[in-house]
Amino acid sequence: MRPVFLRPAALTAAAAAVVLSATACGGASSTPATSAAPTNDASQSAQSTPSASSQDAAPATSATATWPLDDSKGSYANPYKIGEEIADGDWRLTVDKVNLDGNKEVAARDDIYAKVKPEAGKVWVTVEATWKYVGSEPAEGATNFWFVDKAWDGVNPIDDDVRFTSLWESVTTATKGEIPAPKATPGFSVTGDVGIQVPKTSAKKGNFIEVSLNHAAMKSYMVVID
């Protein structure tokens, strides 16, 4: 069975009970790193620039779905596609496929999550990804995955209504369940899966999988679900 790193903060009560029983047998857990929220420069500028009178002052820009503000590759405006390789330093990651209706897939797993049903109004979304290390020296690494509804404004990195963190992932250097995960060695490659509970209204094409593949850089990239 492939090692699975759990995301306990978002578990349902039923899942928590299962995890507790599994922990007694040596279950592994980890906490995802959270990247810093992008700055809304327009709002800051409007708030910090003095005006001659309150009548002439321009209103501050409200948060809208425009994150990130540039169009660099991997941004909201210019996302990667499924199957495209993302490069960040000596790390590479490809989102191989996304299943927007993964309930049956999760139920067929051979781990504790097979017994976890989605919360009311939600569905399991599963992601398969391949992660590689192309550096010449051993290095510490980690991945993080989120499902992002295109309505997210990019301001609040923890928005339970439109941005959802993974509950498990096996895209890791811990191929034998080691804690802590070992360093990646030159030529390292792993293909693993990720599970995220998402509202049924958001589980559709046109939304995004957000990935972080280089733990040291703490940078995220958008992959559009097409």
Q: Which two tokens stand for residue 201?
A: 């209204």
Q: Tell me what percent of the residues of the chain surpass a pLDDT of 70.
A: 66
Yes or no: say if 19 and 8 are a contact pair by the CB < 8 Å rule. Answer: yes
Return the H-helix or E-strand segment holding 47.
helix 41-48
Residue 62 token pair: 């409200």
User: Comparing C-alpha atoms, which of 205, 153, 197 is closest to residue 10?
Assistant: 197
Q: What does the alpha-carbon distance between residue 190 and residue 4 come to, in Å, rounded to a whole number? A: 13
Phi (first) and psi of residue 107, to 5 degrees: -65, -25
Instruction: Please give the pLDDT value at position 158.
Output: 60
**What is the per-residue pLDDT across 169-207, written as a single tens digit (0 to 9) for each?**
899 999 777 888 999 999 999 999 999 999 999 999 999
Q: Kindly indicate the confidence band of residue 108, based on its pLDDT and cuts at 50, 70 and 90.
A: very high
In this structure, the number of other CB atoms found within 10 A of the CB of residue 140 comes to 12
Distance between CA atoms of 219 and 128, rounded to whole angstroms?
Answer: 20
Taking alpha carbons only, the member of 226, 170, 225, 219 closest to residue 72 is 219
The whole-angstrom separation of Cα 223 and Cα 220 is 10
Quickly count: other Cβ atoms within 10 Å of residue 221's Cβ: 23
What is the per-residue pLDDT for 157?
59
CATH number at 5-31+72-224: 2.60.40.1240
Laid out side by side, the sheet with 144-148 consists of 80-81, 221-224, 208-212, 144-148, 163-165
Q: Where are the domains of the chain?
A: 5-31+72-224
Stronger pLDDT, 101 or 18, i.e. the higher one: 101
Which pLDDT value is given to residue 5?
46
As given in the structure block, the two tokens for residue 53 are: 């009178």
| pLDDT score of 169 | 87
pTM of the entire predicted model: 0.70
- Alpha carbon of 23 to those of 83, 178, 211: distances in Å? 35, 14, 27
Amino acid letter for position 112: I
| Residue bearing the bigger pLDDT, 47 or 76 | 76
Please count the CA atoms within 13 angstroms of the CA of 185 that sit on its side-chain side. 3
Q: How confident is the model at residue 154 (pLDDT cuts 50, 70, 90)?
A: low
Q: Which residue type sits at 182? A: P
Measured CA to CA, the distance from residue 90 to residue 141 in angstroms comes to 10
Q: What is the pLDDT of residue 208?
A: 95
CB distance 194 to 52 below 8 Å = no
